[in-house]
Structure 1
C-alpha cells in the first residue's frame, strides 16, 4: 500500500522530495498577490494582504449599452462646456498671447542687460520702463492732435453751415425737401437717448482699451520676470527620453521669434524716424504723431507700410497739393529701400519664411485675430516651418 506523504509534491520542490521545514506555510507577504486578492478570498471576504488603505479594488464593470451611451454623452457635454469656456475667455486668451509674444521679443534685451552686469530684476525693470515710456510718448503724440482738430471742427461748424446755406443749390434742396424741419423733428428723446448711449459706449471703449493695455503690460512684465522658470516648466512636461531634442527645437523657436520681434521693432522705429524727419522738412502738421502712426502700422506684415504711407499722404494732400505729391514720392522710394535693403539685412539671420506662406499667414491672422494675428503670423509660420523641417520630414523619411 503506497504512502502518499513522502511522494506528495511540495509547492516548489520536485515530486518525491520531502517538504522542507518552511514549505508547510507561505510567508504572509507572498500568500496573496495584490492582483489576485479576490481570487484568493473567493470574492466573499475582503483580503487583508496586498490591498491598499482604501480597500481591495473591485471587479471591472461589465460593458453595457447604457454605460457606453452615458460615457459618450458625458464626453460630449464636457467638450461643449470646454468650447463655451474657451469662447467666453477668447478676449483674455488673446491678451495672454500678445503678452507672451512681447515677452519673447523683449527677452533678448533682458539677456543683453544681464550680460552687462545688471541683476535679473533690474534688467526687467529697465526694459519695462522703456516700454512704458514709449507707450506714453505715443499716446501724448496722438491724443492732442485729435482733440485739437475736433475742437477746431466744432468751432468752425457754424461757419460751414452758413456757407452751405449761401449756396443756391444747397439752399434749394433744403427748402424743397424741408430738411431743417426733418432735423428738428429728429431731435427727440430717442435721439438724446441714443446720443447718451453713444457717449457711454465711447467711455466704455476708452476704459476697456486702457484696461486691456494695462493687462498686456502687466502680463508682459510677469512673463519677462519668470521667463526662465516658465520655459523650464514647459520642458519638464515632456518625457525624459525626448526632452533634450524638444529643448533644442524649443530654444531655436524662441530665438527665431525673439529675433523677428527685435528686427520688426527696429524696422518700425527706423520708419518712424524717417517719417518724422521728412515731415519736419516739408512742414506737415503734427510730425511726431504721424511718425508714431507710421511706426505702428509698419509692424503689420505685408500691408502695414502701405497703410501708413496712405495715411500720411492723405494728410499731405489735405495740407497742400505739392506736399501731398512729395509724401507719395517719399514713401514710394522709402518702401523700395526698406523692402530690398533694410528688411533683408535685418531679417537675414532671424527668420527665413517663404513669401507665399508669409502672405497667406498674414491674411489668415488678420481674419482670425485682426491686427494681432497679423503681428504674430510670421513668427508662427517660422516656428511651424522649423518643426516641419526638423521633426515631421525626417520622420517621414525614416519610414
Structure 2
C-alpha cells in the first residue's frame, strides 16, 4: 500500500504543477494583452450634433429637427385648445355667469374687506355688499329705461320728420336720383324685409328661451358672487390642493398677482367709464340733445369694452344727435366732444389710473376683443381684455419667480469672484 500511496501522491503533484503552469501562462497572456491595449491610442467615439444625443438624429438637418419639434408640440397644444373651447362652448351657460361673477367679485371685494375690518360678520358683510351692488344696478337701469321711454316719442317724431326729408335730399342732393331710381330703392328695401320675415319671426319666437337663459344666468351670477366674496380664498386653496406640491407655491403667487391685477383693472375701468359718461353727458346736455342720460349710460357700458365699445357708443350718440336735432352742426359738435373725451381717456386717464401693472398693448386688446366676439359675442368681448390682463400678470410672475436651471447655476459657479483683480462688470 505504501508504493500505491506514493504513486498517487506523485500523480497529484504532477497534475497540480501542470495546472499551476497553465494558470501562470494565462495570467501572463492577460497581462500582455492589457499592456498592449494601454499602449494603443484610445478610439474617439463618434460625435453627434450638440443639439441631439442620437447619431441617427444628427443625420437630419438641424433646422428640420427644430421645426419638427416645435410642430408636433404646437399640434398637440392646438388640439387641446380646440377641444377645451368646444367644451367651454357646451357649458357656456355656466362659464359665462361664473366669469361675470369673478369680475364683480374683483370690483366689490374691497368693500367686503372694509366691512370685515369693522368687525362685521363675513356672511353679513358679503350680503350687504351684494344687495347694495344689485340695488345700484337695478336703480341705474330703472332710471335709464324710464328716461329713454320718456324721450322715445320725441325721438320717433324727429326721426320721422328727418326720414321724410331723405327722399328730397336724394333727389336734390349730390346723388341726383330720379323718381324711378328712388322707387327701385324702396322696392328693394321692401323685398329685403319680406325675404327675412321668417328669420325675424324665428328670432321673436326664441325670445322666451333667451329670457329664461338670461334669468338663470343672473341667479347663477348672484349666488356665485356671494360665495366668491365670502369664501374666495378657501376656494382658491382647495383648487391648489389638486395640483402637485411643487407647483402650489408658485401658482399661488401667480394667482394672487393675477387677482390683484384683475381688481385694479376692473376698478380702473369703472372709473374711466364713469368719467367718459360724465364728459359726453355734459356735452349732450349743453348741446340740448334729447336722451342725454340714456346715451351717457350707453357710453358708460360701452367703455367696458376698450377701444371698440367707446367708438360704437360714441357713434350712437352722434347718430341720435343728428336724428333728434336735424342739425349737422350739432352732430359735428357731439362728434368733436366724443373724440376729445376718448383722446383724454387714451392718453391721460388710462395711463394715470391703470398704471403699467395692467397696461396692455393696443394690438393685444384688439386681437383679444376679436377672439372674444367670435367665441362668445358681446360677453366674450367684455371678458377677453380682463382675462388677457390676468394672464399677462400671472405669466410674468411665474417667469420672474422661476428657480434657476442647472446650467445657470453652473455658469454662475465658474465665474471668478469679484475683486481687485476681477472687478464686476
TM-score (norm 2): 0.60
Alignment partner of 1:293 is 2:265: no
Alignment partner of 1:321 is 2:328: yes
What are the residue-to-residue correspondences of 1:244-393 with 2, within 5 Å?
244-318=249-323, 319=325, 320-348=327-355, 350-392=357-399
The number of aligned residues is 315
Structure 2 CA distance for partners of 1:348 and 1:200, relative to 1, 3 Å = same
- Does the residue aligned with 1:121 lie in a helix, a strand or coil? helix
Q: Quick one: distance in 1 between partners of 2:159 and 2:396?
A: 62
Any idea what the Cα deviations from partners look like across 1:139-167, whole Å, max 9, x if unmatched? 324434555576678999999999999xx
Whether contact under 8 Å (2:155, 2:290) holds in the other structure is no
- Does the residue aligned with 1:300 lie in a helix, a strand or coil? coil
Whether contact under 8 Å (1:366, 1:373) holds in the other structure is yes
**Stretch deviating more after TM superposition (100-109 or 298-307):** 100-109
Q: What's 2:222 paired with?
A: 217
Structure 2 CA distance for partners of 1:156 and 1:360, relative to 1, 3 Å = closer
Whether contact under 8 Å (1:299, 1:375) holds in the other structure is yes
**Stretch deviating more after TM superposition (308-317 or 225-234):** 225-234
Whether contact under 8 Å (2:126, 2:230) holds in the other structure is yes
* Structure with higher RCO (Cα < 8 A, 6+ apart): 2
Structure 2 CA distance for partners of 1:202 and 1:153, relative to 1, 3 Å = farther
Any idea what the Cα deviations from partners look like across 1:230-277, whole Å, max 9, x if unmatched? 122123323344433322222111111111111111111222222333
Q: Quick one: distance in 2 between partners of 1:394 and 1:195?
A: 55
Please, which of 211, 221, 243 is the counterpart of residue 248 of structure 2?
Answer: 243
Any idea what the Cα deviations from partners look like across 1:292-335, whole Å, max 9, x if unmatched? 10000001022221122111111111223332122111111111
**Stretch deviating more after TM superposition (290-299 or 356-365):** 356-365
TM-score (norm 1): 0.64
Any unmatched runs of 5+ in structure 1?
1-79
What are the residue-to-residue correspondences of 1:7-18 with 2, within 5 Å?
none
Whether contact under 8 Å (1:263, 1:347) holds in the other structure is yes
Q: Quick one: distance in 1 between partners of 2:266 and 2:85?
A: 31
Any unmatched runs of 5+ in structure 2?
1-81, 172-176, 408-425
Q: Quick one: distance in 2 between partners of 1:93 and 1:360?
A: 21
Q: Quick one: distance in 2 between partners of 1:236 and 1:194?
A: 50
Larger radius of gyration: 2
Whether contact under 8 Å (1:260, 1:347) holds in the other structure is yes
Q: What's 1:111 paired with?
A: 113
Q: Quick one: distance in 2 between partners of 1:252 and 1:244?
A: 12
**Stretch deviating more after TM superposition (249-258 or 196-205):** 196-205
